[in-house]
Amino acid sequence: RLTRLHDALYARRQRGQKSLAVLLDPDNLDEAAGQRILDLTAAHAVDYFFVGGSLVTTQHQAALIRLLKSASEVPVVLFPSNSVHIDSQADAILLLSLISGRNPDFLIGQHVVAAPILRASTLEILPTGYMLVDTGRQTTASYMSGTTPLPYDKPGIAACTAMAGEQLGLRLMYLDGGSGAMYPVAPAMIRAVRQAVDVPIIVGGGINTAEKAHAALAAGADVIVVGNQIEKDPEFLGEAARVVHTFNSVLKAALN
Ligand code: 1GP
C-alpha cells in the first residue's frame, strides 16, 4: 500500500514547510469554475486538491476528478463525508475518524462499509483525526454527522483529543471550523494541538483572507485548506498561495 503522500507530508512537517490544499466541492462548481481554478493552479503553487462535500452527487464528483487528473499533476485527495464518496480515480483518501464527536458511525461504522472498497482500490489511505470546531453557527458537517463540535475557546480539549487520536495511530489531524465558517479555528487552539502531537496538522474552515491564512500557519498549521472563498473569488487562490510561499521562502532563507 502506498504511503507516498503521507511520507511527503511528514517530511515537510519536519522541515517546517507549509502546504496549500484547495477544497473543491463538486456540487458547488460548474465546469467553467473548475477550469478557471485549474488555470490558476498553473500559475500558483497548489500542493493538494481536496475533493468532497456533504451532499455530493457521485457523477459530479467523478467528472471533476477526471478533469483534475487529466489537466494537472497536483495530487487529488478525497475528503469524503461518507463511504459512498469513494472514487478510485483519485490519488488518496483522508480516512476521517470524527474524533471531536461521539457518533460511532463516523468513528468506525462508515469505515467498516468502506474497508473492502478501499482494499480493492489503489487509493493511498491517510488515517486522519477529524476535529470539527464550533465557529459560531451550526455547520453542515456538524449537522450531517449529528455531532457536537469542539468548543471554540477550549484549546485544552482539542489538544487532548488530538493526543488521543495520535495514540490511536491516526497519522494526520484536521482541525475544521466547517465550510464557510464565520471565523476560522482560533490560533490558540492550533498552537495547543501543535504542542500536543507530532503528526502534520491540517486546518480549514473560514480561511477567506490572507491574514487568516497567515495566522493559521503561524500558529502551527502544516496545511491550510481553502474552499468557499475560492469558489466566490478564484483569484484568492493566488493570494493564499503567496502566503504559503512567503512562509516557505523565509524558512529557506533561515536554513541557508
Ligand atoms: C471545510 O476546511 C474546509 O471542510 C474548507 O472550508 O470552505 O470555509 O474554506 P472553507
Q: What is the pLDDT of residue 101?
A: 97
152: its cell numbers: 471554540
Q: Please report how the helices 187-196 and 210-219 are oriented relative to each other, as an axis angle in degrees rounded to 10.
A: 30
Q: What is the pLDDT of residue 56?
A: 66
Q: Per residue of the chain (256 residues), give pLDDT as tens.
A: 789 999 999 999 999 999 999 999 988 888 788 889 999 999 999 999 999 987 766 678 898 999 999 999 999 999 998 877 899 999 999 999 999 999 999 999 999 999 999 999 999 999 999 999 999 888 888 898 999 999 999 999 999 999 999 999 999 999 999 998 999 999 999 999 999 999 999 999 999 999 999 999 999 999 999 999 999 999 999 999 999 999 999 988 888 8
Q: Which residues contact 197 (CB under 8 A, 6 or more apart)?
A: 162, 163, 165, 166, 173
Å from CA of 227 to ligand 1 middle: 5
CA angle 94, 172, 217 (to 5 degrees): 110
CA distances from 87 to 145, 202, 216, 236 (A): 21, 22, 30, 28
pTM above 0.95, yes or no: yes
Per residue in 185-215, pLDDT (tens digit) is: 999 999 999 999 999 999 999 999 999 999 9
Å from CA of 228 to ligand 1 middle: 6
Please answer whether residues 51 and 26 qualify as being in contact, where contact means their C-beta atoms are separated by less than 8 angstroms.
yes
Q: Is 124 in the pocket of ligand 1 (CB under 6 A)?
A: no
Q: What is the pLDDT of residue 58?
A: 60
Q: What is the pLDDT of residue 243?
A: 98
CA distances from 108 to 36, 112, 202, 204 (A): 37, 6, 21, 23
Looking at the CA of residue 141, tell me the nearest atom of ligand 1: 4
Helix, strand, coil tally for the chain in percent (to 5): 50, 15, 35
> What is the Cα–Cα distance from 121 to 36, expressed in whole angstroms?
30
Q: Domain 4-255 belongs to what topology? A: TIM Barrel (3.20.20)
Q: What is the pLDDT of residue 57?
A: 66
Q: What is the pLDDT of residue 34?
A: 87
Q: What is the pLDDT of residue 256?
A: 80
| Domain boundaries, given as residue ranges, for the chain | 4-255
Å from CA of 255 to ligand 1 middle: 32
Looking at the CA of residue 208, tell me the nearest atom of ligand 1: 9
Q: Is 19 in the pocket of ligand 1 (CB under 6 A)?
A: no
3-state secondary structure of 202: strand
Q: What is the pLDDT of residue 161?
A: 98
